[in-house]
Amino acid sequence: MATHPVAPSQAAAGGNFEAPPPPAMQPPGTDMTGICFRDQLWLNTYPLDRNLIFDYFALSPFYDWTCNNEKLRMQSIHPLDISQLSKMTGIEYMLSEVMEPHLFIIRKQKRDSAEKVTSMLAYYILDGSIYQAPQLCNVFAARVGRALYYISKAFTTAASKLEKIGYVDTENESETSEPKGGKEAIDFKEVKRVDHILASLQRKLPPAPPPPPFPDGFVPPTTEAEKEPENQQTAEPQPPAVDPIIDQGPAKRMKF
């Protein structure tokens, strides 16, 4: 198991003066998603399993030397012993999920009591490389920013294509408007010449013969104007036929 580096207690020159204490190690920052840690020499020496994974994690810059796990290590107690960690308060690391030997997830949390724990950060060890998992708000911000970038790019591309289409349409309209203007122009001399030719042909042709008479028994079809009064007369309600025996009563019946 990896141990905390201990500063020398005396000066190297053999004097009675003690060396100055080493500077206190600063706790890791909150956002360290831009770095990755990997110790290939350690990986070649020890296997990655749930018993040694915390010692490997303690070598990384993500490890906080002031955590409760380090206090247990100094007491030769396993740093992930939950029975001991639940009795302490402060910063601690817990092994959340394990998929040996490829994936290990370690959660950094703050313990206020045996039952009250607040999650702070998460780290994952993927095939020997240690990363800090990004926070959910940062993931949303990155995804939204990427979506807005592609949407803006799509609108820019569409606008450029629409400008090209409009430019081509204006060119086509200008090209087609020129022959249309030529077609709409009227040559009055040509119109008079055509009228003169038609009039001369009409004078040369004989007059049209009269229509032949209708055959015997043929009734010409009536027009709608002639049918309307007949329809109105037929549409008027007719009084019902009077029965001479029933409706006239017994006094007016015929006597035989």
pLDDT tens, 33-64?
889 999 999 999 999 999 999 999 999 999 99
User: What share of the chain has pLDDT > 90, as a percent?
Assistant: 37
User: What's the rounded Cα separation, in Å, for the pair 119 and 133?
Assistant: 13
Q: Which residue has the tokens 């770095």?
A: 35
Higher pLDDT, 227 or 17: 227
The pTM of the full predicted model, rounded to 2 decimals, is: 0.49
Asked if pLDDT for residue 197 goes beyond 70, the answer is yes
pLDDT of residue 168 exceeding 80, the answer is no
CA dist., res. 177 & res. 170, Å (int)? 10
Q: Round the CA-based radius of gyration of the chain to a whole number and report it.
A: 54
The residues spanned by each domain of the chain are 40-134, 135-175
Beta partners for residue 238, in sequence order: none
* pLDDT tens digits, 58-76: 999 999 999 999 999 999 9
b/e map of 192-228 (b: 16 or more CB within 10 Å)? eeeeeeeeeeeeeeeeeeeeeeeeeeeeeeeeeeeee
- What does the pLDDT look like over 98-108, one tens digit per residue? 999 899 999 99
Question: 104 near 80, Cβ under 8 Å?
Answer: no
Confidence of residue 234 (pLDDT cuts 50, 70, 90): low
Which CATH number describes the domain made up of 40-134? 3.10.450.580
Averaged pLDDT score across all residues of the chain? 76
Three-class secondary structure assignment of the chain: CCCCCCCCCCCCCCCCCCCCCCCCCCCCCCCCCCCCECCHHHHHHCCCCCCCHHHHHCCCCCCCCCCHHHHHHHCCCCCCCHHHHCCCCEEEEEEEEEECCCEEEEEEEEECCCCCEEEEEEEEEECCEEEECCCHHHHHHHHHHHHHHHHHHHHHHHHHHHHHHHHHHHHHHHHHHHHHHHHHCCCHHHHHHHHHHHHHHHHHCCCCCCCCCCCCCCCCCCCHHHHHHHHHHHHCCCCCCCCCCCCCCHHHCCCC
